[in-house]
Amino acid sequence: MTPPGEGRPADAGPVNATTRPSALRVVLSGVAPLVLVGLMVWWFLLFGVNYVRLGPPPVEKLAIERVIFKPQEITLLVRNEGPGTLTVAQVLVNQAMWDFSITPGRELARLQSARISIPFDWTEGDPYNFDVITGTGIRHVRKVEVATATPSVSPRALGVFGLLGVYVGVIPVFLGLLWLPFLRSMPRSWMDFWISLTVGLLAFLAIDTFRESFEVMGRVPEFLNGLMLVALGAIGAFLALTGVDTIMRRRGGSRSAGPRGMALSLMIAIGIGLHNLGEGLAIGAAYTLGEVALGSFLILGFTLHNTTEGLAILSPLVQEKVSWRDLALLGLVGGGPTIVGTWTGAFTYSDPLSLVFLGIGGGAILQVISVLVRARAESGESAIEALAKPRNIAGLLVGFILMYLTGLLVAG
């Protein structure tokens, strides 16, 4: 029994209600600084700009983001990437002034985009260069190496690019999976070799993915911070897959060992699938951006290059029982995203999106590599010590070199 005047009545509610600030106060204390910042920005734009005039006008930057070829017409999608307003004055096609239409108008505010339509009889396969001259007389250029009709979403186009994805992504992965009987006939001690080969293979893919992202980064406007987009994708994918891995292990019951067998293969397949998403994107985009004549040699090169990926997925399964359904699932997970990639690349390609996809692909592969390396490490060993065994080094190098050689077939 509490003496009167001391302690609290029994029905006073939880102790925290009187010591912690109310929800309203929390919200206000968070919002108030934001409101002040907003007011300052508003005042500056309205009045303050006039006080801060420093030096000559900032350099203009107009990006020609996309070139779309339609029958007897070329469309340029442009964006003002500079810090000020600019005016589109003239458009040149191969150094000739040409009539054009522009929406929403000639004057573009910061980051605003416009659509320029040019009546022009273009020739399939020819190179073209475009200049957009702004009111200040500055030329902003874009080259197209190979003019190709831009595919519009139609059942036929979807079919063609879908088929491209199947040919380049799905079929090779399934073909790679056919190596399972061969791997099974190898001695058990070769398991290490296969896993290390997989690691080498994946390491190549990861490095290649990031290399490709550097190329795309060069095309992306600076304000979008291309490198950060890649980092976002990579870190996001890495953490997401780690989370998935942890959940799967908890559900599977085993806490200490990493994923084995089917689970590990699935992880590898996911990593490779995400990588292939980026690859399909690149292929579809390269075709419509007019950067590559999609010759049969190129497609063949991609096919061979991707067959080795099927091999990578197999390695954890050498000593396991696997059903056809499992194999089919692995093939689809590893190869299917290529189709999504080619569709996206062909119809709605955007450089920033491509960077995120490439980052995701790279990060996913890095996560799978880390799982594989830890799996190879015996108890008490560090990852480096595990990798340093001759069998593992051999496997790593073979996998890496295999990818390098097949990659040579994919020129450009």
Q: Which residues bind another protein (CB under 8 A)?
A: 42, 45-46, 49, 57, 72-73, 84-85, 87-90, 92, 95-97, 99-107, 109-110, 115, 117-119, 133-139, 153, 244, 247-248, 266, 270, 273-274, 277, 329, 332-333, 336-337, 340, 343-344, 347-348, 353
Q: In the complex, what is the shortest distance from the CB of residue 88 to another protein, in angstroms, rounded to a whole number?
A: 8
Looking at the Cβ atoms of 273 and 395, the one nearer to another protein is 273
Q: Does the CA dihedral 108-113-115-121 come out positive or negative?
A: positive
Looking at the Cβ atoms of 11 and 99, the one nearer to another protein is 99
Phi/psi of residue 2, nearest 5 degrees: -80, 135
Choose among 183, 173, 227: nearest CA to 351: 227
Looking at the Cβ atoms of 97 and 186, the one nearer to another protein is 97
Looking at the Cβ atoms of 200 and 345, the one nearer to another protein is 345
CB atoms within 10 A of CB 69: 19
Q: In the complex, what is the shortest distance from the CB of residue 61 to another protein, in angstroms, rounded to a whole number?
A: 13
3-state secondary structure 197-209: HHHHHHHHHHHHH
| Strand, coil or helix: 184 | helix
Q: In the complex, what is the shortest distance from the CB of residue 202 to another protein, in angstroms, rounded to a whole number?
A: 17
Q: In the complex, what is the shortest distance from the CB of residue 252 to another protein, in angstroms, rounded to a whole number?
A: 11
Please tell me the distance from the alpha carbon of residue 40 to that of residue 237, in angstroms, as a whole number: 38
Choose among 65, 129, 127, 364: nearest CA to 236: 364
Looking at the Cβ atoms of 64 and 197, the one nearer to another protein is 64
Q: Are 62 and 74 in contact (CB under 8 A)?
A: no
Looking at the Cβ atoms of 118 and 203, the one nearer to another protein is 118
Q: Are 209 and 275 in contact (CB under 8 A)?
A: yes
Q: In the complex, what is the shortest distance from the CB of residue 80 to another protein, in angstroms, rounded to a whole number?
A: 11
| Strand, coil or helix: 76 | strand
Amino acid making up residue 204 = F
Q: Are 276 and 334 in contact (CB under 8 A)?
A: yes
Query: How far is CA 104 from each of CA 13, 79, 186, 221, 373, rounded to the nearest angstrom?
Result: 61, 12, 66, 21, 55
Looking at the Cβ atoms of 273 and 399, the one nearer to another protein is 273
H helices of 178-323, where?
A: 180-184, 191-219, 226-252, 261-288, 296-314
Q: In the complex, what is the shortest distance from the CB of residue 42 to another protein, in angstroms, rounded to a whole number?
A: 7
Q: Please write down the long-range contacts of 245-249, taking CB distance under 8 Å and 24 or more positions apart.
A: 245/367, 245/371
Looking at the Cβ atoms of 134 and 392, the one nearer to another protein is 134
Looking at the Cβ atoms of 343 and 400, the one nearer to another protein is 343
Q: In the complex, what is the shortest distance from the CB of residue 194 to another protein, in angstroms, rounded to a whole number?
A: 22
Q: In the complex, what is the shortest distance from the CB of residue 58 to another protein, in angstroms, rounded to a whole number?
A: 9
Q: In the complex, what is the shortest distance from the CB of residue 1 to another protein, in angstroms, rounded to a whole number?
A: 56
